């Protein structure tokens, strides 16, 4: 029995030395918090309960779906969209870390909605992205965004020089690289970066509706905010994907359940920046 590590909630966080981060994981009411549990068909993990925090106070039962993938593996899954409040999710005897759902624009404007999926189920055995031939995207809302100071420009081209020293451009393709900053003034726990690194292994990754890919083999770079405090800011090199298949992109945006709201906008001209 295993809670998928692609689930955007954090379970079984190990204890460590130092002060814990003050950052509380945040979602918008429009986000779909997809939780997956992979198990053997005969295993019973117990009830799923959404609890109010602090205190793990039971709030409501979570009705989850069951999909038997084959004779030895089954998937329990649910997409949570609770109303504003502070919660944790209990699965059997295991509680997630506390998370907040808020519609406060002053909080949400400093977050980025990251949505991710694979092209099929053969890429990983620790998450399921197609259930009964229907594609699913995970929603992870992360603190941070893109800074204007972290843009870089690339070019792939071929030229030749004539005998008159003129340069002739045979072809050229420009590219835009940006650094995503994970963490706000409070920073964030280190497992946020572990999830971001895992997310960037996916075939399709969208930041506020704009598709990006990891730049080569880059991984999140840690910046320590204050010694002895387990709260950090990370930067990740990304490249925007621009040569897209319109059929795939249209399908993906429909699957991501995009709605015309401030915090789930698909416009590629709509950038929210952190300062």
The conformational region for residue 85 under phi > 0 = left, psi -120 to 50 = alpha, else beta, is left
The per-residue pLDDT for 186 is 87
By C-alpha distance, which of 179, 183, 181, 180 is closest to 230? 183
The per-residue pLDDT for 274 is 39
The per-residue pLDDT for 201 is 96
- pLDDT (mean) for 132-137: 93
Residue 263 has pLDDT above 70, yes or no: no
The per-residue pLDDT for 26 is 97
Residue 272 has pLDDT above 90, yes or no: no
**pLDDT > 90: what percent of the chain?**
65
Residue 145 has pLDDT above 50, yes or no: yes
The per-residue pLDDT for 258 is 58
- Taking the C-alpha atoms of residue 220 and residue 237, their distance in angstroms, rounded to an integer, is 8
- pLDDT (mean) for 228-243: 92
The per-residue pLDDT for 2 is 93
- Taking the C-alpha atoms of residue 244 and residue 119, their distance in angstroms, rounded to an integer, is 14
By C-alpha distance, which of 188, 198, 208, 184 is closest to 258? 208
- Taking the C-alpha atoms of residue 18 and residue 33, their distance in angstroms, rounded to an integer, is 29
pLDDT band at 225; cut points 50, 70, 90:
confident
Residue 220 has pLDDT above 50, yes or no: yes
Domain ranges of the chain: 2-255
- pLDDT (mean) for 240-264: 77
Q: What does the chain come to in residues? A: 275
Residue 59 has pLDDT above 90, yes or no: yes
- pLDDT (mean) for 67-92: 94
What kind and span of H or E run contains 250?
Answer: helix 246-255
Cis check: omega of the bond before 54, within 30 degrees of 0 = yes
- pLDDT (mean) for 38-51: 90
Residue 159 has pLDDT above 80, yes or no: yes
pLDDT band at 178; cut points 50, 70, 90:
very high
pLDDT band at 262; cut points 50, 70, 90:
low
């Amino acid at each position: 029995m295993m809670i998928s590590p692609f689930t955007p909630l954090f379970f079984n966080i190990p204890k460590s030395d130092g002060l814990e981060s003050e950052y509380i994981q945040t979602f918008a009411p429009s986000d779909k918090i997809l939780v997956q549990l992979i198990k053997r068909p005969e295993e019973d993990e117990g009830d799923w309960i959404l609890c109010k925090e602090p205190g793990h106070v039971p709030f409501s039962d979570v009705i989850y779906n069951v999909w038997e993938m084959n004779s030895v593996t089954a998937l329990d899954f649910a997409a949570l969209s609770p109303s504003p409040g502070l919660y944790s999710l209990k699965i059997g005897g295991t509680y997630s870390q506390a998370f907040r759902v808020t519609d406060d624009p002053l909080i949400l404007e400093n977050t980025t909605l990251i949505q991710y999926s694979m092209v099929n189920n053969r890429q990983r055995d620790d998450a399921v992205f197609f259930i009964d031939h229907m594609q699913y995207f995970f929603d992870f809302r992360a603190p941070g965004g893109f800074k204007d100071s972290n843009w870089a420009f690339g070019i792939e081209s071929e030229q030749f020089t004539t005998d008159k020293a003129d340069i002739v451009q045979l072809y050229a393709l420009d590219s835009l690289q940006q650094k995503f900053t994970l963490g706000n003034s409070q920073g964030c726990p280190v497992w946020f970066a572990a999830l971001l690194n895992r997310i960037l292994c996916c075939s399709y990754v969208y930041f506020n509706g704009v598709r990006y890919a990891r730049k080569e083999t880059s991984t999140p770079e840690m910046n320590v905010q204050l010694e002895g405090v387990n709260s950090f800011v990370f930067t990740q090199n990304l490249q925007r994907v621009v040569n897209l298949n319109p059929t795939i992109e249209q399908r993906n945006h429909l699957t991501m359940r995009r709605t015309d709201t401030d915090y789930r906008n698909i416009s590629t001209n709509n950038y929210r920046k952190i300062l």
